[in-house]
Amino acid sequence: MKKVICLACKEISSENEWSAAGIEEINGISKFSGGCPTCHGEFYKQLPILIALLLEDNKGNFPYRSLVGGHQYIFHDQSKDTYCTDCANKSKEEITGVMVHLEGESLQCKSCNKEIKSEYANNKKAV
């Protein structure tokens, strides 16, 4: 049986103990929930704090790349639309999520339409 470690509480548990991560509505606010059987997604509930720390550590601006690995950040708003770093810095109050786009198809910034390529995937468009 595969073991998984939670990034929030550091507990190790069996993969089959985890629930599907999802979004729940609490008092009109959408929040992440699910995942770890011990902390039930506390990592995701702390995203606003993590976003604030990113801003604080970079003199009020979102960084372009992660410190570990140097991967490009992408940002999301409440509607799950994607933003590049430049546009996220222009709309800081709208940003509710941040991640690194490691694999998959290229994404497009909602604001400037810039193509955001994944770090490792083959980003060639179909012919």
pLDDT for position 126 = 42
Six token digits for residue 87: 């546009």
Residue 11 has pLDDT above 70, yes or no: yes
The predicted-structure confidence for 85-127, as pLDDT tens digits, reads as follows 999 999 988 888 888 888 888 999 999 999 999 888 765 554 4
Residue found under tokens 């009020």: 60
Higher pLDDT residue, 99 or 6? 99
pLDDT for position 89 = 92
pLDDT for position 41 = 62
Cα 1 from Cα 13, distance rounded (Å):
10
Cα 24 from Cα 123, distance rounded (Å):
33
Six token digits for residue 93: 């109050």
The predicted-structure confidence for 40-94, as pLDDT tens digits, reads as follows 666 555 566 667 777 767 778 889 988 778 888 899 988 889 999 999 999 988 8
3-state helix, strand, coil in the chain (%, to 5): 20, 30, 45
Amino acid identity of 2? K
CB 33 within 8 A of CB 24: yes
Helix (H) or strand (E) holding 4: strand 3-5
Count of beta carbons in the 10 Å neighbourhood of residue 40: 18
